[in-house]
Amino acid sequence: MVLESFGTISGTADVKPAIKIVEVDYESQSGAEYVKLYNPSNADVSLDEWKVSDGDSDDKISNLNIPSEGYALLLGKPANTTDRDIPNYEKFNAIGSGLANSGDKVFLEASTGLEIDSVDFTHDPCDGRTLSVDWETGEKSCVDTSYDFEGELN
Protein backbone atom coordinates (compact mmCIF):
# COMPACT_ATOMS: atom_id res chain seq x y z
CA MET A 1 0.00 0.00 0.00
CA VAL A 2 1.44 3.38 -0.99
CA LEU A 3 0.64 6.33 1.26
CA GLU A 4 0.94 9.83 -0.13
CA SER A 5 3.11 11.84 2.21
CA PHE A 6 3.14 15.52 3.04
CA GLY A 7 6.45 17.33 2.82
CA THR A 8 8.66 19.04 0.30
CA ILE A 9 9.82 18.14 -3.17
CA SER A 10 13.58 18.64 -3.48
CA GLY A 11 13.28 20.96 -0.46
CA THR A 12 11.68 23.78 -2.47
CA ALA A 13 7.89 23.50 -2.48
CA ASP A 14 5.17 22.28 -0.15
CA VAL A 15 3.07 19.41 -1.44
CA LYS A 16 -0.57 19.76 -0.44
CA PRO A 17 -2.63 16.54 -0.36
CA ALA A 18 -5.98 16.78 -2.10
CA ILE A 19 -8.14 15.79 0.88
CA LYS A 20 -11.47 17.63 0.81
CA ILE A 21 -14.21 18.19 3.37
CA VAL A 22 -17.36 17.07 1.56
CA GLU A 23 -19.96 16.93 4.35
CA VAL A 24 -20.45 18.60 7.72
CA ASP A 25 -23.27 17.45 9.96
CA TYR A 26 -23.44 19.93 12.82
CA GLU A 27 -27.06 19.29 13.85
CA SER A 28 -27.73 15.65 13.12
CA GLN A 29 -31.11 14.13 13.84
CA SER A 30 -29.22 11.42 15.74
CA GLY A 31 -27.38 14.04 17.82
CA ALA A 32 -23.97 13.02 16.45
CA GLU A 33 -21.78 15.50 14.61
CA TYR A 34 -19.49 14.37 11.81
CA VAL A 35 -17.16 15.63 9.11
CA LYS A 36 -16.86 13.50 5.97
CA LEU A 37 -13.56 13.66 4.06
CA TYR A 38 -12.85 12.62 0.46
CA ASN A 39 -9.55 11.72 -1.20
CA PRO A 40 -9.87 12.43 -4.95
CA SER A 41 -6.22 11.54 -5.63
CA ASN A 42 -4.86 8.31 -7.06
CA ALA A 43 -2.86 7.54 -3.88
CA ASP A 44 -3.83 6.58 -0.33
CA VAL A 45 -3.27 9.39 2.20
CA SER A 46 -2.35 9.00 5.87
CA LEU A 47 -3.91 11.57 8.23
CA ASP A 48 -1.70 10.54 11.16
CA GLU A 49 -1.00 13.57 13.38
CA TRP A 50 -3.35 15.81 11.35
CA LYS A 51 -5.88 17.99 13.20
CA VAL A 52 -9.56 18.81 12.83
CA SER A 53 -10.67 22.05 14.44
CA ASP A 54 -13.62 24.38 14.82
CA GLY A 55 -11.33 27.39 15.40
CA ASP A 56 -11.73 27.27 19.19
CA SER A 57 -10.00 23.95 19.84
CA ASP A 58 -8.66 21.05 17.82
CA ASP A 59 -8.46 17.28 17.89
CA LYS A 60 -5.47 15.28 16.72
CA ILE A 61 -6.20 12.53 14.21
CA SER A 62 -4.25 9.32 14.67
CA ASN A 63 -3.89 6.19 12.63
CA LEU A 64 -6.46 7.10 9.96
CA ASN A 65 -5.86 6.47 6.26
CA ILE A 66 -8.07 7.45 3.35
CA PRO A 67 -7.79 5.20 0.30
CA SER A 68 -7.49 6.60 -3.20
CA GLU A 69 -10.90 7.98 -4.25
CA GLY A 70 -12.22 6.95 -0.83
CA TYR A 71 -13.82 8.48 2.24
CA ALA A 72 -13.25 8.80 5.97
CA LEU A 73 -15.47 10.07 8.73
CA LEU A 74 -14.52 12.19 11.76
CA LEU A 75 -17.20 11.60 14.36
CA GLY A 76 -17.98 13.94 17.24
CA LYS A 77 -20.46 13.81 20.13
CA PRO A 78 -22.07 10.46 20.92
CA ALA A 79 -22.02 8.54 17.66
CA ASN A 80 -23.08 4.92 17.32
CA THR A 81 -21.15 3.27 14.52
CA THR A 82 -22.12 -0.31 15.32
CA ASP A 83 -25.09 -0.32 12.95
CA ARG A 84 -23.46 1.58 10.09
CA ASP A 85 -20.96 0.45 7.49
CA ILE A 86 -18.22 3.03 8.08
CA PRO A 87 -14.90 1.53 6.97
CA ASN A 88 -12.66 4.49 7.90
CA TYR A 89 -13.46 6.66 10.88
CA GLU A 90 -12.07 8.28 14.00
CA LYS A 91 -14.23 9.16 16.98
CA PHE A 92 -13.85 12.24 19.23
CA ASN A 93 -15.89 13.57 22.16
CA ALA A 94 -16.62 16.60 19.98
CA ILE A 95 -15.23 18.12 16.80
CA GLY A 96 -13.14 20.93 18.25
CA SER A 97 -15.28 22.44 21.00
CA GLY A 98 -18.44 21.16 19.27
CA LEU A 99 -19.93 22.53 16.07
CA ALA A 100 -22.32 25.43 16.68
CA ASN A 101 -25.70 25.20 14.96
CA SER A 102 -25.73 29.00 14.70
CA GLY A 103 -22.53 29.07 12.62
CA ASP A 104 -19.01 27.73 12.74
CA LYS A 105 -15.99 26.80 10.65
CA VAL A 106 -14.31 23.40 10.33
CA PHE A 107 -10.59 23.27 9.54
CA LEU A 108 -8.48 20.31 8.40
CA GLU A 109 -4.79 20.82 9.09
CA ALA A 110 -1.80 18.66 8.12
CA SER A 111 0.78 17.62 10.70
CA THR A 112 3.02 20.46 9.49
CA GLY A 113 0.37 23.07 10.35
CA LEU A 114 -0.67 23.77 6.76
CA GLU A 115 -4.44 24.22 6.34
CA ILE A 116 -5.60 21.58 3.86
CA ASP A 117 -9.29 22.51 3.65
CA SER A 118 -12.00 24.36 5.55
CA VAL A 119 -15.77 24.79 5.41
CA ASP A 120 -17.74 27.54 7.11
CA PHE A 121 -21.40 28.29 7.68
CA THR A 122 -22.86 31.45 9.21
CA HIS A 123 -26.19 30.13 10.48
CA ASP A 124 -28.17 26.90 10.27
CA PRO A 125 -28.43 26.82 6.46
CA CYS A 126 -29.69 23.24 6.36
CA ASP A 127 -32.28 23.28 9.14
CA GLY A 128 -31.11 20.00 10.67
CA ARG A 129 -29.93 18.41 7.44
CA THR A 130 -26.30 17.81 6.41
CA LEU A 131 -24.21 20.52 4.73
CA SER A 132 -22.68 19.02 1.59
CA VAL A 133 -19.77 20.59 -0.31
CA ASP A 134 -18.92 19.76 -3.93
CA TRP A 135 -15.21 18.89 -3.76
CA GLU A 136 -14.46 20.32 -7.21
CA THR A 137 -16.42 23.60 -7.11
CA GLY A 138 -16.88 24.26 -3.39
CA GLU A 139 -20.63 24.76 -3.95
CA LYS A 140 -22.65 24.06 -0.81
CA SER A 141 -26.03 22.34 -0.62
CA CYS A 142 -28.18 20.55 1.95
CA VAL A 143 -28.70 16.79 1.85
CA ASP A 144 -30.30 14.15 4.03
CA THR A 145 -27.79 12.63 6.44
CA SER A 146 -26.00 9.77 4.74
CA TYR A 147 -23.12 7.43 5.51
CA ASP A 148 -22.96 6.15 1.92
CA PHE A 149 -19.29 5.48 1.17
CA GLU A 150 -19.94 3.43 -1.96
CA GLY A 151 -22.12 5.85 -3.92
CA GLU A 152 -21.57 9.14 -5.67
CA LEU A 153 -20.59 12.29 -3.85
CA ASN A 154 -23.58 14.16 -2.48
Q: Where is average pLDDT lowest: 25-29, 114-118, 139-143?
A: 25-29
Give the model's pLDDT for residue 11. Answer: 38
pLDDT band at 96 (very low <50, low <70, confident <90, very high): confident
Is pLDDT of 38 > 80? yes
CATH number of this structure's domain 17-143, picked from the four choices 3.30.365.10, 3.10.20.740, 2.60.40.1260, 3.30.70.20 = 2.60.40.1260
| Cβ neighbours for 64, distance < 8 A, ≥ 6 positions apart | 46, 47, 48, 72, 88, 89, 90
Is pLDDT of 35 > 60? yes
pLDDT in tens, 105-134: 899 999 999 999 999 887 767 776 788 888
Mean pLDDT (whole number) for 74-99 = 69
pLDDT band at 95 (very low <50, low <70, confident <90, very high): confident
Q: How far apart are CA 149 and CA 9, in angstroms?
A: 32
Is pLDDT of 147 > 90? no
Q: Where is average pLDDT lowest: 17-21, 38-42, 85-89, 106-110?
A: 85-89
The domain locations on the chain are 17-143
pLDDT mean across residues, the chain: 75
Could you please report the per-residue DSSP string of 70-110? -EEEEEESS---TTS--SSEEE-SSSTT---TT-EEEEEE-
Give the model's pLDDT for residue 2. Answer: 41
